[in-house]
A and B are shown apart, each in its own frame.
Chain A
Amino acid sequence: MAQATATTHRRSGGFWGRIRQSDLSEALWGYFLISPWLVGLLIFVAGPMLYSVYLSLTRYNLMSAPQWVGAFNYGYLAADPLVWQSLKVTAIYTFLGVPMRVVLALLVAMLLNQQVRAMPLFRTIFYLPSVVSGVAVAILWMWILSPEYGLLNSALAKVGITGPRWLMDQDTALFAMIVMSLWGVGANMVIFLAALQGVPQHLYEAADVEGASRLQKTWHVTIPSISPSTFFVLIMSIIGSFQVFTQGFVMTNGGPNNSTLFYVLYLYRNAFQLLRMGYASALAWVLFIIIMACTALVLRSSALWVYYEGELKK
């Protein structure tokens, strides 16, 4: 026993001072077992990210070696009017579209959480659009939103309404894309559905005892109970929304009049059309910082509105 203790006795002092041999062995086994993922992360994610930091400080056109320019790209970016236009377009798309998508996903999940016959069929129907490829969806919606012969304006005409020009009008094109994005709420709906089915029944029973109405139960029981899922959906939606690209690229190419010039579309133009890889890298890192900042804000706010089971809030 004493011998066993001696062999596993902690080494004193320094960085390794509190590491036991058995702990080290356990840690090494852990790293070994996750090494395939870790190596992949380092080679295919961390490495390229660090290289793009370097590229953002250079002028690089693929044919010549990167030429060091320091912070020039970032200065140019700050003065580029199309960067501000694309940020404005993307911000509107995100801050209008994300709340709409989250709320709609939750409402649909609540509907699909009822005990109704053929519910699996309804759930499948609502989920299907989110698995259709982005380009196919974009082309389909181009036809739906077509001003003269599209489904939407034809339907509006039947009730005597002259529909707008949707994607052909700078005042309505972005809004049309926000509406189009509601088509893919299926993925978030599934997450909310799982969360709704995990709400403890005893909470509803307690609310019934207190005489709570349906709306009160929803507001005071359901929504707080699913707040962790809401938190997750909100963050993922914000991150995804800032990176919107396919709709702008396929449907409008940023027009009319740059009203749908999303940030990633502008980044793509600089990278793959103008071959300004250094500048495009700088654009990418600015987007990264913006997304991180938004994510951090949501994280900080989560203490106020996210409730975990068993947690006591002050």
Chain B
Amino acid sequence: MKQVLSRRGFLTQLGAVAGVGVAGAVLSACAATPAAPQSATSEVEAAEAAAPAALECRGHVTLGYYTSTTPAIERMKAQEASFHEKAPDVDLEIIQMTSIYDKYATMMAAGNEPNVIWMGTGFWQFVGVGAFLDLNPLFDADMAIDLAEYYPKVLELFTWKDSLFALPYGFTSTVYAYNEDLLAKEGLTAPSDTWTHDDLIAMGQALTKDTDGDGRLDQFGTGNGGFWQCIWEFGADAMDEGYTKSTLDTEEAIAALQYMYDLTFGAYKIAPTPDTLQEIGGFPLFNTGKIGFWQLGRWGVPVLREGAVDINWNVAPAPGQKGSWISGESYAISARTPDKGAAWCLLKHLCDREAQETFYMTEASATPAIKAAAESDAYMDDGKPPVNDKAFVDTLDFAKYMPTHPITLEINNIVNPIVDQMNAGDITPAQAGAMMTEGVDTKLREYEGIWGA
């Protein structure tokens, strides 16, 4: 009589087959591990050795384009058409990206990241792991771009260990937009370029009120610029110049934290709460005349031009003129790019002076990174608000930027929960500063001893 295969027998055989299969999968997985790429330095050395051929404008290149707005999509199409005319031997493939940093990290894991990629503040997420090509040798080999034309501080935004890893085409510095009509209604004069925090507080207190008598404030003096903006406005910073230790427990830093707390919850109460900002948003408050001052970068100008049509508005540099946020917009070349000539050709097209004047100045979401372009009449006197475009450029004199260090990403993860505790009244600004310092110093030590080794 035929016997059916027993359960034990079946499981035994299944285990044997699975074992063979797993071994095969392991071998295939090991084989599929991407070969360690040559270091960026050795790849560029190879390019330099055959410099004229390696930088020829031919080959295939993929571009990760940041398309967060409709104007950005239109700009992308225009730049694509223009590049095809300029470099007909380059096969360009554009990948539109809205969530750029997450997508780039995922593509890096798959080994198919774009050859040229847009970069902003997330630059520090990638540069520390060698994701980008050192551009210095390319500038030396091809004299088409003169870095002396660029604002030095803007180049610093994308410089890591004395090498430039991304070429900026624009920067955005934080200024204070103000509602001229609201100020005039309260009999207040517009801020000068040398106004102080005391001026802002006084004006803010005059502007903040409950206009409809329902017991809730619905008109505010100013926005709360947030941790970094407040820290810099008071001349403090997260770390010292050499990035050896945190400086968030200095007198200036604690004064900044106290100010940040007082703006919303403490002595002044002239800024909307995080709840209100989450529900309504800062731009709708400004556009509808419910807030006198609102911090914004150059990227906010198109937003206000479209939204704040019923009010007259202008901008002024940050009060105190000790510090303000600056960030940049750039393009970088992936260290694993095979056709470096094509990538370099595209990078120049996206970031050189012609690109800045042709593509970015009309959109006005970033100030050109080249001095001559930024200080030209075409930019400064374009006939559209704000009248005081010069404020964006003048801010460069005292602007500060996020630490040019890979632990920058972790600083927000340290600082934000502590700010939450401070805003809830659980700890004082001095305690907050001490906790932040301890947290940042710990991460610095870890980076030096572990992750950065």
Contact = CB atoms under 8 A, between A and B. Distances in A.
Interface of A: 8, 18-20, 22-23, 26-27, 30-31, 38-39, 42-43, 46-48, 50-51, 59, 61-66, 76, 142, 146-150, 165, 168-170, 255-258, 269, 272-277
B129 A61 contact: yes
B311 interface: no
A39 B409 CA distance: 40
Given A38-B21, A47-B25, A48-B29, A257 B129 contact: no
What bracket does the count of chain B residues touching chain A fall in?
Answer: 35 or more
B24 interface: yes
A62 B33 CA distance: 11
B79 interface: no
B413 A269 contact: yes
B108 interface: yes
Contacts of A27: 5, 9-10, 13
Contacts of B274: 168
Contacts of B26: 47, 50-51
7 contacts: A39-B21, A65-B36, A150-B279, A169-B424, A170-B420, A269-B413, A274-B451
Contact of A50 (B17, B22, B131): B22
Given A43-B25, A51-B29, A63-B37, A20 B3 contact: yes
B163 interface: no
B417 A274 contact: no
Across chains A and B, which 9 residue pairs bring their CB atoms closest together, nearest first? Answer: A47-B25, A65-B36, A256-B420, A61-B129, A257-B420, A257-B417, A42-B21, A23-B5, A147-B275
B28 interface: yes
B28 to A, nearest CB: 7
Contacts of A272: 102, 105-106
Contacts of B4: 23
Interface in B124-178: 125-126, 129-131
A210 to B, nearest CB: 40
B130 A64 contact: yes
B25 A63 contact: no
B234 to A, nearest CB: 24
A256 B417 contact: yes
Contacts of B37: 63-64
B335 interface: yes
A33 to B, nearest CB: 13
A187 B42 CA distance: 56
Interface centre among A19, A23, A48, A63 (most CB of B within 10 A): A63
Nearest to A34: B14
Contacts of B417: 255-258
Contact of B22 (A42, A61, A142, A150): A42
Interface string B427-441: 000000000000000
B108 A63 contact: yes
A272 to B, nearest CB: 5
Given A272-B105, A276-B451, A46 B22 contact: yes
Contacts of A277: 109
Interface string B285-310: 00000000000000000000000000
A142 B278 CA distance: 10
B2 interface: yes
Contact of A257 (B18, B105, B108, B421): B421
Contacts of A43: 25, 28
B9 A275 contact: no
A50 B29 contact: yes
A153 B410 CA distance: 34
Given A148-B275, A277-B109, A22 B409 contact: no
Given A51-B29, A256-B420, A273-B409, A42 B5 contact: no
Interface string B23-40: 011101100010111000
Given A63-B131, A165-B275, A169-B424, 12 more contacts: A20-B3, A26-B5, A27-B10, A43-B25, A59-B451, A63-B129, A142-B278, A170-B420, A170-B424, A257-B418, A273-B409, A274-B451
A207 to B, nearest CB: 37
B275 A146 contact: yes
Interface string B61-90: 000000000000000000000000000000
B450 interface: yes
Contact of A168 (B18, B105, B275): B275
Contacts of B101: 273
Contacts of B108: 62-63, 275
Contacts of B3: 20, 23
A152 B250 CA distance: 43
B276 interface: yes
A19 B9 contact: yes
A298 B336 CA distance: 49
Given A19-B9, A50-B25, A255 B420 contact: yes
Contacts of B105: 62, 272-273, 275
B166 to A, nearest CB: 16
Nearest to A48: B29
Contacts of B28: 43, 47
A277 B10 CA distance: 38
A66 B101 CA distance: 22
A149 B281 CA distance: 13
